Amino acid sequence: MENNTITWNDFEKVDIRVGTILEVNDFPEARKPAFQLQIDFGTAIGIRKSSAQITTHYTKEELKGKQIMAVVNFPRKQIGKFMSECLVLGLDGHEGGVVLLSPDIQVKNGMKMT
């Protein structure tokens, strides 16, 4: 693994927030199995959409209402006909799937990771 050291100022530029998944839809057009998510990041940021390859460990029912962590200051990204507005964070490779990063205690939507 290459050492890509960043400065504290670099880290502070990444805006990671907690949000609650409001809606989960199948994404059959995706190249790899994925869901389309609508996530509430509170009043300051609002609701954002994201595509996430999290179908291995999660059902749509399990995801609805779940709090997750996401980067909210990336530029929007077109994925097929879907526009992703944030990057949901997870750990890749657990038994062939992604495990979401989430707070272990319910917190206010929009709280910033520090």
Summarised one tens digit per residue, pLDDT across range 47-67 is 999 999 999 999 999 999 999
Phi/psi of residue 105, each to 5°? -130, 135
- Give the per-residue pLDDT at 46: 98
Q: Is the pTM of this model over 0.85?
A: yes
- Give the per-residue pLDDT at 94: 73
- Give the per-residue pLDDT at 95: 80
In angstroms, rounded to a whole number, what is the distance separating the alpha carbons of residues 91 and 65?
Answer: 20
Q: What is the CA radius of gyration of the chain?
A: 14
The parts of the chain modelled with pLDDT lower than 70 are 1
Q: Hunting for tokens 């707070």 — which residue is that?
A: 103
- Give the per-residue pLDDT at 51: 96
